[in-house]
Amino acid sequence: MLLRQWVAALILIAVGAFTVSAQNAGEVEKGRQLFLGMCSRCHGAEGGGGEGPSLTRLTRAHNDEELSAIIRNGIPDRGMPRIRRFSDAELGQMVGFVHSLGGAAGGAITGKPENGRALYQRLGCQSCHIVAGEGGDFGPELTTIGARRAPDYLRQSITDPGAALPRGAPVPGRGFNEFLPVKVVTGDGREVNGVRVNEDSFTIQVKDAGNKLYSFRKADVKQLDKLFGKSMMPDYKARVSAAELEDVVAYLSGLGSGPGDSK
């Protein structure tokens, strides 16, 4: 009827207890279809992860009920939307499909995390990224990145950072690209290059590579270019070897994915 976009899905009342065991292949296949539609954009068609984490090894959901609750309620602070439109049967099919996932889709981790950690320092990544409270704050925090992004996505973000900007934080708004590079030419001809911090229809807030914050009224600027497909992060494709890349991916994949390996 109305406002689906705003409430993410239907407000369902009284979700009864349900039992999930989509044992037969037909049910799992139905779950796969649902998954392709609702989940694959972030978790990958085979559940191996991407912008969202791999579902081949579930770290938060220890049983069907916990997995169902995550699907129903989402994980708001991690960008996972709640999905409330499923019937109990559909939810069961989805849970069954997620449980059927296995293997190493989403990218295997072949590098050595300790080498990757050293390389991370040597490349100066910490000048823009915070891990466990330390580092610069121009780019996204990486403290728990291993729990939130699959190896393939991390690999791509190092070799082709503009291909997939982070999305979905509460600021600047649901579904907006974060760290979107913008070029602003002010009324008096000054050029400011930086990333968008926030934006509305009349104003835009930008921070530059020196981490200086600017606030512009759009009516006052001569030019405003949003550089979709680009990132302020340098492309490291030519600066690391294939083996080094795997080491960094291994290091990042370990961040936040389990106790004792978050640093």
Partner 1 sequence: MKQVLWFALAFSYATADAQVPYERIAGADSEPSTWVTYSGNYQAQRFSLLSQINRQNVSQLKPTWVYQMRNPGIVETSPIVAEGVMYITEPPSTATALDVRTGRPLWTYTPSIPSDVIIIGSPPVNRGVAILDNTVFLGTVNCHLIALDAKTGIVRWDIVVDDNKKGYYITAAPLAINGKLIIGVSGAETGIRGFIDAYDPKTGKRLWRTWTVPGKGEPGAESWGGDSAVHGGGSTWVTGSYDPELNLIYWGTGNPAPDWNDDTRPGDNLYTCSLVALDANTGKIKWHFQFTPHDVHDWDATEVPILFNAQVNGRARKIVSMANRNGFFYVLDRQTGEFLSATPYIKQNWTDGIDAKGRPFARRDADPKVAGTLVYPAIAGGANWYSPSYSPTTGLFYQAAREMGGVYFKGDAEYKDGTAYTGGGGEGKNGDDAYGAIRALEGTTGKLRWEFRLVTPPMAGVLSTAGGLVFAGAEEGNFFALDAGNGKPLWELQLGAAIRASAMSFAMDGKQQVAIAAGSSLFVFGLP
Cβ closer to partner 1: 72 or 112? 72
**Range 55-94, binding partner 1 (CB under 8 A):** 85-87, 89-90
Query: Any contact of residue 230 with partner 1 (CB under 8 A)?
Result: no
Site string for partner 1, 37-56 (x = CB under 8 A): xx------------------
Question: Concatenated DSSP letters for 88-151?
Answer: HHHHHHHHHHHHH--TTTT----S-HHHHHHHHHHTTGGGT--BTTBS-SSS---TTHHHHS-H
Does position 202 interact with partner 1 (CB under 8 A)? The reply is yes
User: For the chain, give me the number of helices (H) and strands (E)?
Assistant: 9, 5
Choose between 112 and 183: whose C-beta lies nearer to partner 1: 183
CB atoms within 10 A of CB 204: 21
First to last CA, the chain: 48
Which residues are 75's β-sheet partners? Answer: 80
Pick the binder of partner 1 from 57, 226, 239, 263 (CB under 8 A).
226
- Indicate whether 17 belongs to the interface with partner 1 (CB under 8 A): no
Contact with partner 1 (CB under 8 A): which of 102, 103, 124, 173?
173
Rg for the chain, CA atoms, rounded: 21
Q: Which two tokens stand for residue 223?
A: 């030019």
Tell whether residue 21 is a contact of partner 1 (CB under 8 A).
no
Cβ nearer to partner 1, comparing 128 with 180? 180
Is residue 223 within the footprint of partner 1 (CB under 8 A)?
Answer: no
Q: Among 126, 131, 133, 139, which residue's Cα sits nearest to residue 211?
A: 139
Q: Does 242 bind partner 1 (CB under 8 A)?
A: no
Q: Is 134 a residue that touches partner 1 (CB under 8 A)? A: no
Residue from 219, 241, 259, 260 in contact with partner 1 (CB under 8 A): 219
Beta bridge partners of 213: 207
Which residues on neighbouring strands pair with residue 225, listed in sequence order?
A: 183
The C-alpha atoms of residue 152 and residue 94 are separated, in whole angstroms, by 24
- Give contact residues for partner 1 (rule: CB under 8 A): 1-7, 9-14, 30, 33-34, 36-38, 85-87, 89-90, 167-168, 173-177, 180, 199-203, 219, 226, 228
